[in-house]
Structure 1
Amino acid sequence: MARPFRQQADAEILDHASALFAQHGFAQTSLKAVADAVGLSKAGLLHHFPNKEALYAAAHEVAREQGRRVLDRLAALPPGRERDLRALDLLTDIALDRPGLVALAFRAVTAPDAEPALDAEDMFVSEIFAVDTAVTAVDSTAADPPERVVRVIGALSALAVLTLAANQHGEKTAWRPLIIATCADALGHGRPSSAGSP
């Protein structure tokens, strides 16, 4: 009986820690801040994760696992509108369930120089949208047009912020189709006809 509770507690800790890491970065996020966010003492938090490095590594691993699942579900779709909309659908559901993990995963795109170098596995967002988001908009030799890079980063930023807000307001169901529509607009696809369907 204790095992499912432990897994649920670990998932909650990882989500809160991920949100703090995404917002403040690794160096500026203290174990006390994470413990306070989940209602534990620092000693209680250390019972779940032995140190900040282990917590950070676990958060990134869960984000990678979610990214791999999304990529697996998109594998049959070629790059384009249909793939983008399906990706938004999948990512929105994950973000509404675990907004901190998604914010941390998107940090690799929205603030790539803020943390130590990331593994290729941490860049799954670029694969999902078939774009090299590490390229700056002023790089004229970029393989991807700057407009596409800007649109993907804009959509991901909107997704992270809006799903956090939906969770804070307790409006996940009502906000879901609006979040997807906003992100689809950011990508230049207009409103998807099935934004409300899971």
Structure 2
Amino acid sequence: MGRPFRQQIDEGILDRAAALFARHGFEHTSVQAVADAVGLSKAGLLHHFRSKETLHQAVLAHAEGLGQRVLGQVRELPHGAARDRRAVEVLVDVALAHPGVVALLLAPVTQAGTGAGALEPGSAGAAALEAFGVDLETADPDRAVRVVGALGALAVLTLAAHQQDQITAWRPLVVATCLDALGSRRPGAALPDPDQVEA
């Protein structure tokens, strides 16, 4: 029974650390800042992760795992509206469950030039773009802007849903907003089912 509890604590630490890394970058995030954010002493945090570098690597590995989970849900679907819808739904569920990690995952897309990290092939952020079949260097500008807009809306709205304690109520609205940004939702179309199973 101790393992799931330890994993839950570690995931909470990773999520809070990811949010700080996304906001301030690795260099400007101290171990003490992460410890304060998770309610641990510096020594307590270092008991879970032996150094800032180890913590950062664990955050990146966790983000990569989430990115691959998203890709796994859409990889077999052909590019188009159905894949876009599924990618949005999965990304929204992941973002609502892991807001800090998603802030880090999407930081290279939504915070270009802030030192949050590069969008390298195989990175978690690149996986989010790949879910929509987009390579920013070669994509049609209209499609690239729509996808980046949808991801930006997803990041901002899921974080706001957490701050407002409206995760369940806002989920269908976030999905609809992202689909609107993609140009995939027809005017007057029904909102997604609010009883959708979350990640």
TM-score, structure 1 as length reference:
0.89
Q: Which residue of 2 aligns with 1:162?
A: 157
Checking the alignment, whether the CA contact within 8 Å between 1:84 and 1:129 is kept in structure 2 is yes
Cα shift at 1:23: 1.1
**In structure 1, distance between residues paired with 2:122 and 2:78:** 20
Instruction: Map 1:93-172; keep pairs closer than 5 Å.
Output: 93-111=93-111, 113=113, 114-115=115-116, 117=118, 119-122=120-123, 123-133=126-136, 135=137, 143-172=138-167
Q: Is this contact kept in 2: 1:109–1:125, CA < 8 A? A: no
- Report the counterpart of residue 19 of structure 2 in structure 1: 19
CA deviation digits over 1:14-53, x for unaligned, max 9? Answer: 0000111111111111111111111001111000111111
Q: How does 1:59-78 map to 2 (within 5 A)?
A: 59-78=59-78
Are 1:2 and 2:2 an aligned pair?
Answer: yes
Within the candidate set 175, 179, 183, 1:180 is matched to 175
Question: Residue 196 of structure 1 corresponds to which residue in structure 2?
Answer: 193
SS of equivalent residue, structure 1 residue 121: coil
2:88–2:175 contact (8 Å) kept in structure 1: yes
Which whole-Å CA distance do the structure 1 matches of 2:164 and 2:180 have between them? 23
C-alpha displacement at 1:126, in angstroms? Answer: 2.0
Distance in 2 (CA, whole Å) between partners of 1:79 and 1:119 is 22
> Residues 194 and 86 (structure 1 numbering): CA distance in 2 closer, same or farther, change over 3 Å?
farther
Could you tell me which residue of structure 2 aligns to residue 89 of structure 1? 89
Distance 2:70 2:15 in 1: 18
Q: What is the alpha-carbon distance in structure 2 between the residues aligned to residue 164 and residue 196 of structure 1?
A: 21
Count of aligned positions: 190
Alpha-carbon distance in 2 for matches of 1:145, 1:127: 14
1:116 Cα deviation after fit = 5.3
Instruction: Give SS of 1:76's match.
Output: coil
| Percent identity of equivalent pairs | 54
Unaligned residue ranges in structure 2 (runs of 5+)? none
Gaps in structure 1 of 5+ consecutive residues: 136-142
1:127-183 deviations in whole A, cap 9, x for unaligned? Answer: 1111113x3xxxxxxx31111111111111111111111111111110000000111
Deviations 1:83-134 (A, max 9, x none): 011001001111111111111111232245524555422121221111113x
Cα 1:115–1:194 change in 2 (3 A) is closer
Give me the CA root mean square deviation: 1.7
Rounded Cα–Cα distance in structure 2 between residues aligned with 1:89 and 1:118: 22
User: Match of 1:121, as an amino acid?
Assistant: G
Measured after TM superposition, the shift of residue 190 of structure 1 is 2.2
